[in-house]
């Protein structure tokens, strides 16, 4: 009897162990199935299976909501998306425009594509222009897509002949005071920077534009002369400058020009139409045209090598 009892105990123990093992295997299997089902329903998993890399998925999940991610799954995977998201001046509202333009201009970098789209510089000049937002004061943007009314005139003060060539030069008071500070700083370094053209009314700009169109044609004129209402000179914030004995055409050869490249931002001015940014500004290089935006913004634009158009699109209009 004792031996049989021991045999039964052993048998029960073995059966219990087998049952426990089978039970654990079943639990593990169920958990694995549940995990697999959850994984297949997980958006990250779906995006990876759709063709996006692990790094791409992290960027997409961070930047898009659930609905937007679902929309991505309904389209062919486009790895260019994350190229643009990683760009410093990326604007989500322009993503589709970036992608379309990039597909048709693969020779351009994503950085340039972002700049062109943000500033509307990919569009034909003067198409669908908007009224410039005059409430922005020193950060008023006037370009080939943002214009001023014919009767717009800022509050102006006269520029002394001590600081300028010609008669009737006018600027906003803040711009004038900043220019005087810059003039005196250059003078202390043995240089002379003279204002030659400041505020220009709508009617004056029209005469200049119409004359150039008559002489050179509209296409050529539009590369260097603003249409009336679209000139920065109407803002009272822009100045054309010269050095003694020079013309606009050779101002870039002067010491004064080099001084301005290094110091204008310290007084709130920027070179408005740089040589390497013509495709963004819409204007040929003008070494003589400076625009007042205030010290803080001028410093940022200078240090980041961007145009005012780019700054406005990302930090103001955004």
pLDDT given for residue 39 in this prediction: 40
Phi, then psi, of 151 in degrees rounded to 5: -95, 10
Q: What angle do CA 66, 72, 75 make, to 5 degrees?
A: 150
Dmax (CA) for the chain in angstroms is: 130
Binning the chain into helix, strand and coil, the percentages to the nearest 5 are 60, 10, 30
Non-local (6+) Cβ contacts of 212 within 8 A are 220, 221, 224, 225
> Quick count: other Cβ atoms within 10 Å of Cβ 70?
12
Only one residue has tokens 């053209």, namely 197
Distance CA 209, CA 11 (A): 106
Instruction: List active site positions.
Output: 286
Phi, then psi, of 115 in degrees rounded to 5: -65, -45
> Residue ranges per domain, the chain?
2-41, 130-316
pLDDT given for residue 9 in this prediction: 66
> Quick count: other Cβ atoms within 10 Å of Cβ 308?
26
Distance CA 145, CA 66 (A): 35
Contact, 101 vs 279, CB < 8 A? Answer: no
pLDDT given for residue 42 in this prediction: 87
Q: At what angle do helices 110-118 and 95-104 cross, to 10 degrees?
A: 120
Contact, 239 vs 156, CB < 8 A? Answer: no
pLDDT, block means (10 residues), the chain with 318 residues: 58 69 64 43 86 93 93 92 96 96 96 97 95 97 97 97 92 98 98 96 96 94 95 98 94 97 98 96 96 98 98 94
Only one residue has tokens 């150039």, namely 212
**Strand bridging mode 286-292 / 238-242:** antiparallel
Note the pTM of the prediction, 2 decimals: 0.85
Q: Domain 130-316 belongs to what architecture?
A: 2-Layer Sandwich (3.30)
**What radius of gyration do the chain's Cα atoms show?**
33
pLDDT given for residue 167 in this prediction: 82
Distance CA 249, CA 138 (A): 27
pLDDT given for residue 273 in this prediction: 97
């Amino acid at each position: 009897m004792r031996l049989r009892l021991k045999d039964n105990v052993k048998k029960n123990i073995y059966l219990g162990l087998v049952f426990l093992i089978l039970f654990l295997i079943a639990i593990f299997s169920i958990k694995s199935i549940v995990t697999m089902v959850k994984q297949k329903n997980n958006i990250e998993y779906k995006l990876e299976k759709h063709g996006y890399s692990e790094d791409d998925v992290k960027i997409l999940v961070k930047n898009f909501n659930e609905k937007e991610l679902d929309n991505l799954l309904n389209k062919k995977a486009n790895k260019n998306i994350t190229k643009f998201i990683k760009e410093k001046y990326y604007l989500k509202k322009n993503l589709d425009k970036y992608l379309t333009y990039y597909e048709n201009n693969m020779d351009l970098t994503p950085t340039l594509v972002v700049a062109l789209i943000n500033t509307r510089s990919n569009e034909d000049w003067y198409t669908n222009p908007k009224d410039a937002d005059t409430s922005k004061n020193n950060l008023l943007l006037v370009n080939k897509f943002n214009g001023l009314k014919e009767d717009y005139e800022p509050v102006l003060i006269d520029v002394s002949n001590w600081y300028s060539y010609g008669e009737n030069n006018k600027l906003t008071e803040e711009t004038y005071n900043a220019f005087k500070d810059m003039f005196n700083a250059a003078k202390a370094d043995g240089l002379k920077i003279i204002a030659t053209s400041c505020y220009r009314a709508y009617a004056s700009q029209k005469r200049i534009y119409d004359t150039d169109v008559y002489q050179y044609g509209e296409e050529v004129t539009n590369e260097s002369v603003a249409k009336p209402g679209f000139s920065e000179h109407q803002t009272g914030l822009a100045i054309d400058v010269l050095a003694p004995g020079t013309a606009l055409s050779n101002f870039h050869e002067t010491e004064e020009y080099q001084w301005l490249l290094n110091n204008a931002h310290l007084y709130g001015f920027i070179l408005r139409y740089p040589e390497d940014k013509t495709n963004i500004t819409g204007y040929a290089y003008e070494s003589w045209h400076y625009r007042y935006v205030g010290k803080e913004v001028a410093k940022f634009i200078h240090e980041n090598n961007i145009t005012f158009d780019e700054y406005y699109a990302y930090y103001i209009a955004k």
